[in-house]
Amino acid sequence: MIALHIDEVVRSLFDRLHNVDMPRLVLPFLTLALLLGPAAGQQEPRFRSQINLVPVPTMVRNAHGNPVYGLKEEDFIIEDESIEQSVHLDEAAAAEPISLLIAVQCGRRAKREFGRMGGVATMLDPVLTGQNNEAALLLFDSGVNLVRDFTTQADGIEADLKNLQSGDHGAAILDAVAYGARLLGKRPEGQQRVLLLISETRDHGSHFARIDDAMRLVGTTNTLVFALPFSPYVSHQLDTARASNRDEWGINVDIIEKLAAARQAMRKNIPKTLASMTGGEYELFVSRKGFETDMTRFANHLHSRYLLSFEPKDPHPGLHKIQVHLKHPTQDQILLFRSSYWVGDITQ
């Protein structure tokens, strides 16, 4: 059995509060601080996730980008550190309710994108109104603000999304991702945990979470990240993740090398790396029409994944690299899958 201690990660984040200029940041981060650490004199509840299966949500797309349905358990191969595993497919889990955390950047240059994001509420309506689905809304600039906690009532979230206000000059993406994953980790068992991240590609001003913290929290809470980033730089406009998850780490690299590669990828493009690591999707938008198309695809693809899983044969501590293949692939098929998971602590 694999023991994943999320509370240890959270404590490390909270300890860094002592190194921050608190008078300037205390109000924007008040909610974050309360959730990342206990109040004085209180016992912190211990959040411990014990699992014996590693979920590997996987989507198979054809050349037109449409999901491929009808595949069976025996059609897939999963490798953990290049070792083939026994694959399990939970067909009933496709109908599981969704816990959706919507994290929207409102600081820095995000104001320029508000006009393109005007239809967020309408396009999310099928998700927000789905039976037993729940959603929360988080806005962030240099601070993180939980505008609306998880609710099954869509009206409030829709109203908030229709009235976005510009924030300050920060874009604390790592803080927002870590906070959002922490909230999703507290949702009941049986809920699919999904983080929809709408932001720039690079972090500006995170104070509490580092790259390792964000990666670890997303991994240990089994959060699926969908990213709809915008870029202020023309050179990034064609930066999409439509290709398959290629093995960039190789077969015989050690844990430190893999962690360094993941860190470097996160520095270049946080949303893309998180989407790739978790099996989600990444689509950079540069127009209102593009954003609407991507949002519609996001809503349609939420229940389009094969919920594969496996019990690791060698669950040694550290970052594990996952590969998923089809036994009988065709040239036009593309796989999006969770490409890593964490066991225990990693030496910094």
| Beta-carbon contacts of residue 220 (< 8 Å; ≥ 6 apart) | 4, 6, 9, 49, 185, 342
Instruction: Give CA–CA dist 13/26, Å, rounded.
Output: 15
Give the pLDDT of residue 223: 93
Summarised one tens digit per residue, pLDDT across range 257-300 is 666 766 776 778 899 999 988 988 888 775 667 677 777 777 77
Between 139 and 277, the higher pLDDT residue: 139
Determine contact, residues 108/144, Cβ cutoff 8 Å.
no
pLDDT at 9 over 50: no
Query: pLDDT band at 4, cuts 50/70/90?
Result: very low
pLDDT at 171 over 90: yes
pTM tops 0.85, yes or no? no
